[in-house]
């Protein structure tokens, strides 16, 4: 037991706290603090297990660290999707807004992490998979959201009888986003998994020396990471409810911002762990993955959950109403993705002007959304 790594001890402590909270219901600030501690410990340990499992898959399948990090980011979305599922059952509109707001928070994380990357004359090199394939996601995501927001504005301003995004539209959006994202993952693995970007320091043999060597060990770590992330994410969702209850005067958009920040904890922990371990490609792929996957993965499942819950009677004609909040949350995806796409694809680098511009733009957008009732 003494030889267990730190992340394993964190998971043991997190599961112990989760079990305690499930048996002994502690209310108020003390209960929220205990859940926060247990949830963060579980998420930190789970993310380390996910990184190790992905390193093992990278060795077995011949992936480079950027592709492996992107796959790890996909897996880390499981607790966030589960969290949104609970919100969908209670309030589909709030779930929709939380999912959209998480795109902005992760875009800010991407820009801020770029500050830590090694720079040549003020510019940080961006891996070619982002430049070549990732910008296509930004282009499609921005265009789709602009078209959807435009349709919502026209329907509202011209007095249409359509007052919400209906079940058929939600099915179409959800499956469309998943289809494009699946194509992106296939292209990433097929065309870029063997490429080793120049910024990737050590040789592959040294990078993966702690990776599990058998498929059984890889599957075990993957299952442990997913399970721990789910339990930790559930604990963090309860903390979010406690924060909302403590500040009832918060506006819906402000509540969505708080909950979006909480929902993004798994991504933040993976980025911090990878950066501390001097694995910038895993960290960078997770920051970029967060701002794209929250639209193409998390939001796709959110739309499909809202639609399917209506189809099977869990919700009764509760979809996504066309309001100022929902329209703005969709509309602002376009300028966010547009500036990201332009910043990345012009020279394959991210410079100080682009970093400051992106932080300023996203900060302004989030400020406007937070002021909206």
Q: CA 233 to CA 371: how far, in whole Å?
A: 27
CATH of the domain at 157: 1.20.1420.30
> What is the reported pTM?
0.77
d(CA 290, CA 57): 21
| Residue 100 burial (10 A CB sphere; 0-12, 13-18, 19+) | buried
Residue 1 lies in a domain: no
Q: How far apart are CA 108 and CA 294, in angstroms?
A: 13
pLDDT in tens, the chain (373 residues): 557 787 788 888 888 888 887 777 777 667 777 877 887 788 778 777 877 887 788 778 777 666 766 676 677 677 677 777 777 888 888 888 888 888 888 888 887 787 777 666 666 667 666 666 677 888 889 999 999 999 999 988 888 888 899 899 999 999 999 998 888 888 777 776 655 544 444 444 444 446 677 888 888 888 888 788 778 777 776 666 676 677 777 777 777 777 777 777 767 777 777 777 777 766 776 777 777 878 888 889 999 999 999 999 888 888 999 988 888 889 989 988 888 888 777 766 777 787 788 788 878 877 877 776 5
Backbone angles phi, psi at 223, to 5 degrees: -65, -40
Domain that holds residue 122: 6-371
Identify whether the C-beta of residue 231 lies closer than 8 Å to the C-beta of residue 20: no
**What's the token pair of residue 105?**
């928070």
Residues 6+ away with beta carbon under 8 Å from 181:
137, 292, 293, 296, 297, 300
Residue 35 and residue 20: Cα distance in Å, rounded? 10
Overall domain count for the chain: 1
Residue 57 lies in a domain: yes
- Which among 342, 263, 265 has a CA at the least distance from the CA of 81? 263
CA distances from 241 to 102, 318, 319, 373 (A): 17, 22, 22, 19
């Amino acid at each position: 037991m003494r030889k267990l790594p730190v992340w394993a001890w964190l998971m043991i402590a997190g599961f112990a706290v989760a079990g305690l909270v499930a048996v002994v219901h502690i209310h108020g600030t003390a209960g929220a603090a205990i859940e926060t501690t247990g949830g963060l410990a579980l998420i930190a340990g789970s993310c380390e297990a996910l990184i190790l499992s992905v390193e093992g898959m990278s060795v077995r399948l011949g992936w480079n660290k950027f592709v492996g990090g992107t796959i790890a980011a996909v897996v880390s979305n499981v607790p966030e999707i589960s969290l949104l599922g609970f919100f969908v059952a209670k309030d589909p509109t709030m779930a929709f807004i939380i999912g959209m707001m998480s795109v902005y928070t992760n875009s800010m994380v991407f820009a801020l992490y770029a500050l830590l990357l090694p720079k040549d004359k003020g510019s940080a090199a961006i891996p070619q998979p982002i430049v070549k394939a990732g910008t296509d996601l930004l282009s499609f995501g921005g265009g789709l959201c602009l078209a959807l927001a435009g349709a919502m504005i026209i329907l509202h301003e011209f007095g249409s009888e359509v007052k919400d995004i209906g079940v058929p539209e939600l099915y179409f959006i959800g499956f469309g986003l998943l289809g494009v994202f699946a194509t992106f993952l296939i292209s990433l693995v097929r065309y870029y998994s063997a490429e080793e970007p120049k910024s990737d320091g050590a040789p592959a043999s040294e990078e993966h020396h702690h990776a599990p060597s058998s498929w059984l060990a890889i599957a075990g770590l993957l299952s442990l990471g997913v399970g721990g992330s789910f339990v930790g994410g559930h604990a963090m969702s309860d903390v979010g409810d406690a924060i909302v209850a403590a500040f009832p005067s918060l506006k819906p958009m402000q509540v969505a911002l708080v909950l979006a920040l909480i929902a993004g904890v798994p991504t933040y922990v993976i980025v911090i762990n990878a950066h501390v371990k001097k694995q910038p490609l895993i960290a960078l792929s997770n920051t970029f993955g967060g701002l794209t996957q929250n639209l193409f993965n998390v939001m796709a499942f959110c739309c499909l959950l809202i639609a399917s819950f209506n189809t099977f009677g869990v919700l009764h004609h509760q979809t996504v109403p066309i309001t100022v909040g929902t329209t703005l949350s969709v509309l602002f995806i376009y300028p966010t993705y547009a500036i990201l796409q332009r910043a990345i694809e012009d020279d394959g680098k991210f410079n100080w002007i682009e970093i400051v511009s992106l932080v300023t733009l996203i900060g302004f957008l989030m400020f406007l959304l937070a002021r909206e009732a």
